[in-house]
Amino acid sequence: MKWLIPASTYKIWTDFSLKLDHDLVLETGKCYHLTGQNGSGKSSFIKQVLISHLLKQPESQFILYLEQQVQSQFDAVKANAALQKPSVHINNITDMFDYQLHQLSHQMKKEPKPVIFILDETVCLEQIVNWLNKNSTNQVCLIYVSHLQIDFPHFSEVSSIAAKPVSASLSRIVP
């Protein structure tokens, strides 16, 4: 499966925009490393361009998004688990990942669909790697943000996408 994010200047806040000069194509079976200095707009690109694009057709894929500085997401997942699966106890980030990956596997068994993993400076990657070991990555697209290079041997090809500041109010997203 391919996702196409159209070339455009995306307004993020009143005083900051992200510019895509060309259409950006993401594909299953591939891994993408999103790079850029602090404050260049990596997380903004993920939240306000990529995810909002994916949510225009929420039925066509599963999205597993792990936020940067995951504390508020942790509280949200914990609350969700308390309602959906009261028997599951989520006490730390490891439990949260386990729960999310378990839910994902469960949904995929019911209804196979492409999956897009979005990891924004995720610290604890062991469980993600284990999940990728156990599942075919043909139907998985992985996008990660990190200042370090991370090795995901499950994907033969890793492409870079860079967030490059042009000024304080504009960054370019360059594949």
Partner 1 sequence: MTAFFDISMMDTLAQTHLICDASYPLITSTTLKEEAILYNLEKESTSKLTSDFQTLTGKQISADYDINDLSGGQKVILMILLALASPAQNIVFVNLQSSLDSIRYNEINKMIVSNRTTKNEILIR
**Closer Cβ to partner 1, 46 or 114, answer by number:** 46
For partner 1, the binding residue among 28, 61, 68, 80 (CB under 8 A) is: 68
Check binding of 37 to partner 1 (CB under 8 A): yes
State both tokens at 14.
């009143």
Q: How far is the CB of 20 from partner 1 (least distance, A)?
A: 19
CA–CA distance, 138 with 154 (Å, rounded to integer): 10
Distance between CA atoms of residues 44 and 46, nearest Å = 5
Q: Does 151 bind partner 1 (CB under 8 A)?
A: yes
Strands (E), the chain: 2-5, 8-13, 16-20, 24-27, 31-35, 62-66, 115-120, 140-145, 158-167, 170-174
The stretch among 2-10, 19-27, 83-91, 144-152 that binds partner 1 (CB under 8 A) is 144-152
Residue numbers of the site for partner 1 (CB under 8 A)?
Answer: 36-39, 41, 43-44, 68-71, 94, 120-121, 123-126, 146-148, 150-151, 168
